[in-house]
Amino acid sequence: MDIAVMWAGAAPIITAFAIKIGSALLLYMVGRWLISFAIRALSALLTRRNFDATLQRYIANMLAVVLNILLVVAILGYFGLQTTSFAALLAGVGLAIGAAWSGLLGNFAAGAFLIIFRPYKLGDYVVAGGVEGTVVEIGMFNTILNTPDNVTTVIGNGKISSEVIQNFSTNDYRRVDRTAQLAFGVDPLDAIALLKPALAAIPNVVAEPAPDVEILDFNERGTQLAVRPYCHTSHYWQVYFDTNKLIAETFGTAGYAAPHTVIEVQKG
């Protein structure tokens, strides 16, 4: 067969295919631009409405996924593929993936509830999923905490939502719980009178409520005091350690005897 004749027959097909490919690329680029524009517009709207930054990213990510899927379906439809069949196939694949990745999808669903109900936000100091630390990021599938020993810890949102969440940043202050052991013979009321004003002088201890110093218990070494100043959670460890030092300094200056266990031995 003559090459010119073959080319003459193939040229319209190749040209039409090339036009379709070019049009699909143009459709893809325009679609991507429109998706970016829509996400930027949505983010700007949510910012004006004072939505939480984490919630903004969450909604924007979900919108981007949905719009990109619609763009792919539209391009396939442009090439003449049955998009209804593709949608059914996509649904079937989604079910298969959902069965295989049930834990991951569970984390995704839990993340949506965490974003909606907001038991914590970025910067809060929490105990979540059995881990204590500052919230660095709230993602679609997991939450990232920075622990007090400066370790970045990633926790699945499903684990967090199924356990108790403690948020230490919600209230204006929290209590620091310490104890002070007195030896037998030391007057606990005298020790209380010395500790209370000294605790109030510790930096970052709040004035209201005032620090508590009370008799907590009696044991084999003597009287045990409950020492409880209050402070903002960001100053917790500073107040914690300063309270320990204060107890040692106050009792040392007062000349209190060191507590020791008293064992009575009875002669038979």
Going 52 to 57 to 61 to 67, the CA torsion angle's sign is positive
**Residue 87: helix, strand or coil by DSSP?**
helix
pLDDT at 61: 78
Runs of H (alpha helix) within 101-232? 102-117, 157-161, 188-200
Residue with tokens 């792919």: 72
CATH 3.20.20.210 fits 174-254, yes or no: no
Q: What is the pLDDT of residue 234?
A: 92
143-151 long-range contacts, CB within 8 A, separation 24+: 143/111, 143/114, 148/237
* 126 three-state secondary structure: strand
Distance CA 139, CA 155 (A): 10
pLDDT tens string, the chain, 268 residues long: the values are 566 666 566 666 677 667 777 777 888 888 888 888 888 888 888 788 777 666 677 777 777 877 887 888 777 776 666 656 566 666 666 665 555 455 666 777 788 788 778 899 999 999 999 999 999 998 878 899 999 999 999 999 999 999 999 999 999 999 999 999 999 999 999 999 999 999 999 999 999 999 999 999 999 999 999 999 999 999 999 999 999 999 999 999 999 998 877 666 666 5
pLDDT at 147: 95
- Locate all alpha helices (DSSP H) within 141-210, ordered by sequence: 157-161, 188-200
Degrees, nearest 5: CA angle 235-238-239 = 80
**What is the Cα gyration radius of the chain?**
33
Residue ranges per structural domain of the chain: 3-100, 119-167, 174-254
Model pLDDT, residue 96: 58
> Cα(61)–Cα(55) distance, rounded to whole angstroms?
10
- Helix, strand, coil in percent for the chain, rounding step 5: 55, 20, 30
CB < 8 Å & 24+ apart, contacts of 189-196? 190/254, 191/225, 191/250, 191/251, 191/254, 191/256, 192/225, 194/250, 194/254, 195/225, 195/227, 195/246, 195/247, 195/250
Contact yes or no for 221/263 (Cβ under 8 A): no
Number of Cβ within 10 Å of residue 193's Cβ equals 12
Cβ(237)–Cβ(203) below 8 Å: no
* The CATH fold of domain 3-100: Helix Hairpins (1.10.287)
> 119-167 and 174-254 share one CATH topology?
no
Q: What is the CATH number of domain 119-167?
A: 2.30.30.60
- Residue by residue, DSSP assigns 133-158 as EEEEEE-SSEEEEE-TTS-EEEEEHH
The pLDDT value given to residue 210 = 95
Q: Could you give the CA distance from residue 116 to residue 258 in angstroms, rounded to a whole number?
A: 54
User: What type of residue is 265?
Assistant: V
**Amino acid in the structure at residue 125:** Y
The answer to whether the pTM exceeds 0.75 is no
The predicted pLDDT at position 97 comes to 56
Quote the pLDDT of residue 155.
Answer: 95
Residue corresponding to tokens 């620090």:
211
3-state secondary structure of 169: coil
- What SS3 class is residue 28? helix
